[in-house]
Amino acid sequence: MIRLCAPHELPEAQSRGFCVEDMQLFAVRKEGEVFVYRNRCPHRGVRLEWQADQFLDPSASLIQCARHGALFLIDSGECVAGPCEGEALHAIDCREDGEGIWIDIDP
């Protein structure tokens, strides 16, 4: 398991980008739960954020691709609007404890 950050470093309804072993990732906290995805839009393979750590739409209820506006559900990564509708972000297994937010990137 690889530690991304301390729990308090990812506040509720916020997102944060990470680079782990040359892989671009991002994490989002929604209703106390953490979700981690590869930072790669299924439409064009580009990074999603419009500026550092900004992966959410203005309402902070959906993940938004800055390149073409595709919208993804936070809890599943499914695209619900945009050119890649029906596709999904690549989820990364994660867990959280008092020491941190942890990911497992082993196959």
21-60 residue pLDDT tens: 999 999 999 999 999 999 999 988 899 998 999 999 999 9
The pLDDT score that the predictor gives to residue 107 is: 58
Task: Name the CATH topology of 2-104.
Answer: Rieske Iron-sulfur Protein (2.102.10)
Q: Is the pTM of this model over 0.85?
A: yes
Domain boundaries, the chain: 2-104
Task: Give the pLDDT mean for 82-90.
Answer: 95
Percent of the chain, pLDDT > 90? 92
Q: Report d(CA 83, CA 81) in Å as an integer.
A: 7
pLDDT at position 73 is: 98
* Residue 66 predicted with pLDDT over 70: yes
**Looking at per-residue confidence, does 28 or 107 come out higher?**
28
Arithmetic mean of pLDDT, 7-28 = 97
Which residue is listed with tokens 């916020």? Answer: 14
Residue 89 CB contacts under 8 Å (≥ 6 apart), including other chains: 37, 38, 40, 41, 42, 63, 72, 77, 79
Question: For all residues of the chain together, what is the average pLDDT?
Answer: 95
CA 81/CA 72 separation, integer angstroms: 7
Q: Which residues pair with 5 in a beta bridge?
A: 101
